[in-house]
């Protein structure tokens, strides 16, 4: 039992660090003009960090109450972590390859043909984008539900996760195969990211409660 408690403590702390790190990596990838190699590194880290943060959150919830909802939530977020890594790496690979192709093609390929090729290839990466949004939305919805009866989160915080995840899912299905941000709707990705940042900070503030809860567990 003591080994299991130690495992829980380790996972929760890993989850906090990973959650804070992924919350920093996300806006940097979107808004900061990063060098190519650094962009590739951040893109490679985002998915694994999200997976670790989700596992830490799961163990934090599990210490209070074991639920199928939390188990399904972490499984969905793990799938989302794989899909977002696939999406980001494919996007970078396609963008860099297309830039080189356009630069070397010259007069051999007409501009309309190049635009057509780009549009076809772009649909592939947009499909990955929607796929990852679907799984992170489902995971966020389920984590929100699991939090509603948790003493450190509560109904309001849990409902916010449920709401933003639900809207993300509905918007993606409504505009498929184009992501909402490309279809004139609101991109809720930043809202989801802020919610998970708040989750990491709240868990950080709750470490003493968490340790006391584990101490009470027989």
pLDDT mean over 66-75 = 96
Q: What is the pLDDT of residues 52-65, one digit of tens each?
A: 999 999 999 999 99
pLDDT category at 216 given cuts 50, 70, 90 is confident
What does the pLDDT average to over 21-37? 84
Q: How far apart are CA 214 and CA 218, in angstroms?
A: 8
Which of 38-52, 95-109, 171-185 holds the top average pLDDT?
Answer: 38-52
pLDDT (tens digit, 9 = 90+) per residue, 169-178? Answer: 999 999 887 7
In the chain, what percentage of residues exceed pLDDT 70?
87
Q: Given a cut of 80, is residue 158 above it in pLDDT?
A: yes
Average pLDDT over residues 55-78: 96
Interval 18-44 mean pLDDT: 86
The pLDDT of residue 105 is above 70: no
Residue 133: CB atoms within 10 Å: 26
The per-residue pLDDT for 98 is 65
Whether 40 and 55 have beta carbons less than 8 Å apart is answered as no
* pTM of full prediction above 0.85: yes
The rounded distance, in Å, linking the Cα atoms of 133 and 101 is 30
Task: Using the structure block, give the residue that is written with the tokens 């006391």.
Answer: 212
Supply the mean pLDDT for the chain: 87
CA angle 179, 180, 181 (to 5 degrees): 95
Query: How far, in Å, CA of 10 to CA of 78, rounded?
Result: 19
- DSSP letters for 43-66: HHHHHHHHHHHHHHHHHHHHHH--
């Amino acid at each position: 039992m003591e080994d299991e408690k130690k495992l829980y403590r380790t996972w929760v702390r890993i989850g906090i660090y990973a959650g804070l790190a992924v919350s920093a990596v996300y806006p940097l990838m979107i808004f900061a003009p990063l060098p190519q190699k650094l962009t590739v590194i951040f893109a490679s880290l985002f998915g694994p960090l999200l997976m670790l943060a989700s596992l830490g959150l799961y163990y934090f919830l599990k210490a209070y109450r074991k639920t199928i909802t939390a188990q399904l939530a972490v499984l969905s977020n793990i799938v989302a972590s794989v899909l977002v890594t696939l999406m980001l790496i494919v996007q970078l690979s396609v963008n860099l390859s297309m830039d080189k192709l356009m630069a070397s093609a010259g007069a051999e390929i007409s501009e309309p043909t190049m635009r057509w090729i780009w549009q076809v290839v772009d649909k592939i990466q947009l499909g990955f984008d929607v796929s990852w949004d679907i799984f992170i939305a489902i995971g966020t919805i389920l984590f929100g539900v699991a939090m509603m009866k948790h003493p450190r989160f509560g109904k309001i915080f849990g409902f916010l996760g449920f709401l933003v995840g639900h809207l993300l899912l509905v918007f993606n299905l409504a505009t498929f195969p184009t992501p909402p941000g490309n279809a004139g709707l609101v991109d809720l990705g930043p809202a989801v990211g802020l919610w998970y940042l708040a989750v990491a900070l709240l868990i950080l503030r709750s470490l003493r409660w968490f340790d006391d809860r584990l101490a009470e567990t027989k």
